[in-house]
């Protein structure tokens, strides 16, 4: 599905392809989530790394690109990287090296100490932001003003947007989504989490002041639209968030 005529969502995954940049982009992998949860007494199967590799393989069977960009939070733990997390991130980078000429990683708020891993690789760029042509990638945890950005298209992560849907008997269903729209003459796209476990913020329910991203708190997301992601199905275009709230 096309967004802003330059960006194509890769169905049925939380990923995009930008042909003009020869680039595939994903965000918010949160590798090591299971280990961090176990330390809090929550035990879940260690399946996220396997699912991440499986989904990237499926994406590459449909779309090819010379470059891949990870828009923040490749790792989950805020504090110093644990051994299991380190191995998962390192193994992922080795895997990506064999399939892409260039790997671009935008530092997210979870990516403390990530340079200890990335510095081993020559073809990996670790940056706070990435801009090329009229497109800017930024993770989204920074407190900045959209109107002060020069680029016409701004692509964020961090929020993990999702849509809450209710059945006729009031049962809540939740689906990850892309969130996109225009604000201050800029086109803004918020990417869903690539993480298997990170479900995210129900943007059609949460009040603005409870959103995660300081950037999104300053714009009118009610005028934005969502593209829902359903496993093994086509992406689904929703109406404006305002209409979904109503």
Mean pLDDT for back-to-back runs of 10 residues, the chain (246 residues): 95 97 96 66 76 96 96 73 76 95 90 81 91 95 90 96 86 91 94 88 91 93 94 91 89
210: exposed, middle or buried (C-beta count within 10 Å: 0-12, 13-18, 19+)? exposed
Q: Is 214 helix (H, G, I), strand (E, B) or coil?
A: helix
pLDDT of residue 75: 75
Identify the structural domains of the chain with CATH numbers, from first to last.
Answer: 2-245 (3.60.21)
Choose among 2, 14, 26, 3: nearest CA to 189.
Answer: 3
pLDDT of residue 119: 85
Q: Which residue has the tokens 């989490």?
A: 193
pLDDT of residue 232: 82
For the question of whether the overall pTM of this predicted structure is more than 0.75, the answer is yes
Separation between Cα atoms, residue 180 and residue 191, nearest integer Å: 9
* Cβ atoms 129, 155 nearer than 8 A: no
pLDDT of residue 225: 97
Separation between Cα atoms, residue 151 and residue 127, nearest integer Å: 17
CA angle, residues 163, 164, 169, in degrees to nearest 5:
150
pLDDT of residue 48: 86
pLDDT of residue 131: 96
Q: Is 65 helix (H, G, I), strand (E, B) or coil?
A: coil
């Amino acid at each position: 599905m096309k967004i802003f005529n330059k960006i194509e969502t890769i169905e049925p995954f939380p990923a995009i392809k930008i042909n003009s940049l020869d680039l595939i982009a994903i965000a918010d992998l949160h590798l090591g989530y299971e280990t961090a949860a176990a330390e809090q007494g929550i035990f879940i199967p260690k399946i996220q790394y396997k699912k991440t590799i499986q989904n990237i393989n499926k994406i590459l069977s449909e779309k090819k690109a010379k470059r891949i960009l990870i828009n923040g939070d490749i790792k989950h733990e805020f504090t110093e990287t644990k051994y299991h997390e380190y191995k998962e991130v390192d193994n992922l980078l080795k895997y990506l090296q064999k399939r892409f000429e260039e790997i671009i990683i935008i530092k997210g708020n979870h990516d403390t100490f990530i340079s200890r891993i990335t510095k081993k690789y020559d073809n990996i760029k670790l940056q706070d932001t990435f801009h090329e042509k009229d497109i800017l990638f930024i993770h989204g945890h920074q407190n900045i003003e959209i109107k002060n950005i020069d680029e016409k298209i701004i692509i964020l992560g961090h929020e993990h947007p999702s849509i809450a849907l209710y059945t006729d008997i009031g049962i809540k269903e939740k689906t990850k989504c892309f969130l996109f729209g225009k604000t201050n003459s800029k086109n803004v796209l918020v990417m869903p989490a690539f993480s298997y476990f990170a479900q995210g913020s129900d943007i059609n329910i949460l009040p603005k002041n409870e959103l995660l991203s300081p950037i999104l708190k300053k714009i009118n997301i009610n005028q934005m639209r969502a593209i829902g992601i359903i496993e093994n199905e086509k992406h689904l275009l929703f109406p404006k968030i305002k209409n979904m709230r109503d």
